[in-house]
Structure formats: C-alpha cells, structure tokens
A and B are shown apart, each in its own frame.
Chain A
Amino acid sequence: MTCGAPLDVRDKVSDSGWREAPRLRDMTEFRFSASTCQVEGELVPVAEISLSPQDGVFFEHHVLLWKDESVPLGSMKTAGGMKRTLGGMPLILTVANGPGRVAFSRDAPGELVVLPLHPGMELDVREHAFLLATHSIQYSFVRIKGLANVLHGGSGMFMDRFVTAQYPGLLILHGNGNVLERTLKPGEKILVEPGGFLYKDSSVAMQAVQLPLRTGMLGQHRMFLAEMTGPGRVGIQSMYVHHHSSE
C-alpha cells in the first residue's frame, strides 16, 4: 500500500520540526488492496477510487462527488446515535462497494492527506475532516470532555477514531489550507488552536488549557488552546474552524 507522495522532492520541515504533508501531484495514482485511487486537482482535490469487487470504502454521504451507476451504496450505522446527533456528527455513514468508480471531495481549498494504516494502529481525526476510509478500518468516535465548554457551547468536541485490527487500511483526510505534521516525544507538549487540530495518534493526550489572556471589550472572554502531549504524531491545518473564546 502506498500514499502517492512524490519521491523526488525534498522533505519540507520547518525549524521547529513541523513537516509539511506531501502535496500530491495532479493525477497521482496509488494502490490499496486490489483497488486504485487517483488524486485530481490541487486547489480542492478530488479522490477518484476505482474499486475492485472485493473492496469497499465508507464516508460521510455529502462528500460523494460522483459515482458509476453500477456501484452499490449501503449504510453503516454508527454507535451512540443520540450523542452523535447532538455533536453535529453524521448519524449514518455511507458505504460504497466495488466493482466500479466513485469520487469524493470536500468543498474547501486544501489538500488530501493519505494515511496508510498498518495493523494495530489507532488514529483520532477531527470531526468532518475524513474523506473516506477502506472497509478494513474499524470506525468509532470519542468525545474530548476537557474541551466541552470551550469549543461547542457545552456539547463537547467529538473526534473520529480509526482503528486497524489485523489488516492494513487506507484513510484519506481533507485538510483545509495546508497541513503540517509533527512528532512529539514522550512528555513533549505543544499548544494548538483547537480549530487547527486535524489528526493525532491516539497515544497523544489532548486537553484544554486556559491562557493568561483576556479578550473582548471588558476582558470577559477567556482564551483556550488544546494542549497536546506526546508521544505520537499531531497533524494541523492552517485554515481552521475558528472556535470563539468562551465567555
């Protein structure tokens, strides 16, 4: 399984250790299982999947751009329906099975992040950031309780959790703007704007911390950031969902 990253470019790493996600070249094609994925466009990229008969992918229904008529669609019910509804997450995910072609995109400038998952991996992804995942990946969600009142007016922040058991899988995310990744050492901390968080290894702990800053007319607003503590990878996006500071 490959990720389509160009091999003839230099690694772009900032002085403080953030590595840019490799920008996939227009029409890059890569394989997963017996199927292929081709990435088209660069401003708002499209992932076009050619599914073999034994493969399938799941996704949120509104990211489906087009499909062959013959590709069957099904639903994948998720656990915790009420919580998901309250958290603004999709209640039902859609599954497309091969053979046939199907294409996905989200409607924002950005880039696709292709994450091949080896068996035994766990990855947490910001809600509404995942584009598609192969059917061998197990899907659940987690609630970040510490960020409850900071981010969503009390309903909390949900993250999609993707787990591979004994088989590898492919996960494709859409990051708004540019995507940067950094690997934190055990105990190493970084403070991130919560709306800029894109994904992390489940080994990275995440909690809200209040900064010694006040904003607003009378200083009635508090400012919070998400504190990430290693070990593991953290991915951020430069065009973020801005969460207003709490009153």
Chain B
Amino acid sequence: MNTYVCRYCRQPSDPSAPTCPLCGAPVDIRSSVSDSGWVEQPPIRDMAEIQFGQSHVQIEGTTVPVAEFALAEQDSIYFSHHVLLWTDPQTRLGNMSMRGGWKRMMAGMPLIMVEAHGPGHLALSDNHAGEVIALPLQHGQRMWVREHRFLGATGNIRYDWEANNVWYDTGEDSQHQDIHYPMGQYGDIFAAQDRPGLLLLHSPGNTFIRDLGQGESLLIQPSALLYRDISVRAHMHLEYPRNQGFAFWSPRWSYHKVWVRLIGPGRVAVQSVYQPPEDYEAIRNSSYTTVHRW
C-alpha cells in the first residue's frame, strides 16, 4: 500500500519515482525549511513529467520554464492566449468566453481564454524568470490565485473570479481620489469539479509555502501572495512607524507600511518577486483595515 504523501502537493504519491507524478516536485530531496517555518517549493526538475487524465505535461527549462502538454483525445486544457508558445497544427483550439467581460477588461484581466482539445501537443510559457507551480486539485477543492499568475488548467477545473476587497484610496479630496489595489483588484478562483484536476501557475522568482493553523496570522507584502486555500482570510493592515522627529509638511503625506494579514487555517504561498505599494500618500479611505501605530 502506498503511504507516501507528497509534502508539496499533499496528494498520495509514488515514493519510487524521482519526481511526484502529480506535481513534479522532486521526491529524493530533503525539505528546505526556514527557521520561521516557510518551506521552499523546489523547482520542478528539467524534463519532469506530470500526469493528468490520460495526458501529461512535461516541464522544460529552468530559467523561464515551458510546460509542454501531450493531450489525449478526451482531455482538454485552457489558458490565456498570450502564454501559448507553440502548437501542433492538429491540436484543436477554440475560445472559452467568460462572464463579467467589462469588469475584467477594466481590471486588465484576460477576457477570453483559449481551450485546447487533444489529441495533440502544445506548449505554454510565461514571460518572466521564475518557476512553474503545479497544483493538483482534488474534487471540490478550491484555490485563490493572484491575478496574472495562471498558466493553464485542465478542462474540468472551473474558473471564476472575485473582488479581493483589499484597497485604499489616496488623493486630495473626493474629486481627486486614487484607488489602489495592492493585492490586485480581482483574484482568480479555481475549483475542481467532477474529478481531480491540475492547475499550473507561473511564479516569478522563488516560491515558499506555509501552513497556517486555526486563527494563526501572518503579515506579508500584498503583491507577494501567490495562492492560498479559500479557507485563509485576508484583509489589509497598516503600520505607522514611530515618528522620530521627522514630519511631512502636508497632510497629503504620511509614512506607513501596507500589509495584507492572512488568517488561517490553510496553506499560503508567496513569491519572492513583488512590487511594494506606495507608502507615502495619506490614506483617506480603505477596505476593512487594522492599524498599528508604533
């Protein structure tokens, strides 16, 4: 009886294989855990294969990895059109339209996904140095993913999106307000339906994962959050460092730090490449926020 559970994708796996057949993580390495409990997600080895349905995906390269799919006749995947690197002429491609087109366009999210049906080969790659993250989802499992990190998913994974509700506005008055979304305006929600599925993400830089216990909380850079279990809650947190003789001359400015507080239970993952939000404009209004003044 196989009792091995992959420490990265949390699925029962094959201990005799060099890499987990479900997520591609190397099996024969020691876990790399920081003192504070972050587990480094090991990069998928060059040419490792991940099985899904009757098909598989092979990860090629290490700087900007390519996900090369060999699709069986009954399997399909979908993806945003701009990550398609190459395809066999015989692979059937079609549009997969989505609800909320206007909002998605305003938020800069892809409007139309492309569906690819087997049999055939095609390859996807993102345009940044980083890692491909493979998340096998069990039937009914749901995952929040930062926008623009999605690379591809199997056809049985339902794709939806929702407002992140982490925002603040700055500006002189209500006529000149500037709304900021430090975690992105919307988040992608993926859920496996009917049967297990595979979700592929592209993570710029390196990736670290951590399990939060019930009620355990953590402050992170908002744009560094890569994915989280739906059970993990998120809201904005502001810190005002102690003023040590320094003061802005205008009430438009203030010195603060914008965080996102994550509250368990559940798994969270961060990427090491991020864009810190502006910290100098006074915040006039915001979504639910906790504040700490040192």
Chain A residues, Cβ within 8 Å of B94:
212-213
Does A176 touch B at the CB level, under 8 Å?
yes
Chain B residues, Cβ within 8 Å of A110:
63-64
Are A15 and B64 touching (Cβ within 8 A)?
no
Of the candidates B70, B105, B128, which one forms a contact with A239 in the assembled complex, judged by CB atoms under 8 Å apart?
A: B128
Are A177 and B86 touching (Cβ within 8 A)?
no
Are B129 and A109 touching (Cβ within 8 A)?
yes
Q: Shortest beta-carbon distance, A18 to chain B, in Å?
A: 7
Q: Shortest beta-carbon distance, A239 to chain B, in Å?
A: 4
Does A178 touch B at the CB level, under 8 Å?
yes
Of the candidates A12, A15, A193, which one forms a contact with B86 in the assembled complex, judged by CB atoms under 8 Å apart?
A: A193
Does B127 touch A at the CB level, under 8 Å?
yes
* Chain A residues within 8 Å of chain B by Cβ, number: 37
Which residues 51-85 of B have a CB within 8 angstroms of A? 56, 58, 60-66, 68, 70, 81-82, 84-85
Are B89 and A177 touching (Cβ within 8 A)?
no
Q: Shortest beta-carbon distance, B81 to chain A, in Å?
A: 5
Are B112 and A111 touching (Cβ within 8 A)?
no
Does A93 touch B at the CB level, under 8 Å?
no
| Distance of A227 Cα from B121 Cα, bound (Å) | 15
Q: Which residue of B lies closest to A111 (CB)?
A: B63
| Distance of A216 Cα from B65 Cα, bound (Å) | 27
Of the candidates A18, A190, A217, which one forms a contact with B105 in the assembled complex, judged by CB atoms under 8 Å apart?
A: A217
Are A242 and B127 touching (Cβ within 8 A)?
yes
Of the candidates B58, B63, B93, B102, which one forms a contact with A211 in the assembled complex, judged by CB atoms under 8 Å apart?
A: B93
Does A14 touch B at the CB level, under 8 Å?
yes
Are A239 and B111 touching (Cβ within 8 A)?
no
Which residues 127-150 of B have a CB within 8 angstroms of A? 127-129
| Distance of A216 Cα from B63 Cα, bound (Å) | 30
Chain B residues, Cβ within 8 Å of A180:
60-61, 66
Does B207 touch A at the CB level, under 8 Å?
no
Are A239 and B68 touching (Cβ within 8 A)?
no
Does B214 touch A at the CB level, under 8 Å?
no
Are B63 and A225 touching (Cβ within 8 A)?
no
Are A215 and B111 touching (Cβ within 8 A)?
yes
Are B81 and A20 touching (Cβ within 8 A)?
no
Of the candidates B49, B68, B89, B101, which one forms a contact with A217 in the assembled complex, judged by CB atoms under 8 Å apart?
A: B101
- Contact (A192, B86) CB under 8 Å given A20-B46, A177-B125: yes
Are B61 and A20 touching (Cβ within 8 A)?
yes
Chain B residues, Cβ within 8 Å of A190:
86-89
- Contact (A238, B93) CB under 8 Å given A16-B121, A20-B46, A177-B125: no
Chain A residues, Cβ within 8 Å of B31:
none
A-B contact pairs, 16 of them (CB 8 A): A15-B49, A15-B68, A18-B60, A20-B60, A43-B129, A177-B61, A190-B88, A196-B85, A211-B93, A213-B93, A217-B101, A217-B111, A219-B112, A225-B86, A238-B64, A242-B82
Name A's B-contacting residues (CB within 8 A): 12, 14-16, 18, 20, 43, 109-111, 176-178, 180, 189-193, 196, 211-217, 219, 223, 225, 227, 236, 238-240, 242, 245
Name B's A-contacting residues (CB within 8 A): 46-47, 49, 56, 58, 60-66, 68, 70, 81-82, 84-89, 93-95, 101-102, 105, 111-112, 114, 121, 123, 125, 127-129
In the complex, besides A14-B47, A240-B125, 12 extra interface pairs with C-beta distance below 8 angstroms are A12-B47, A15-B58, A20-B60, A189-B89, A190-B89, A196-B85, A213-B81, A216-B112, A217-B101, A238-B64, A239-B63, A245-B81
What are the 10 closest A-B residue pairs judged by CB atoms, nearest first?
A: A177-B64, A178-B61, A239-B64, A238-B64, A238-B125, A109-B129, A16-B121, A192-B86, A238-B66, A191-B87
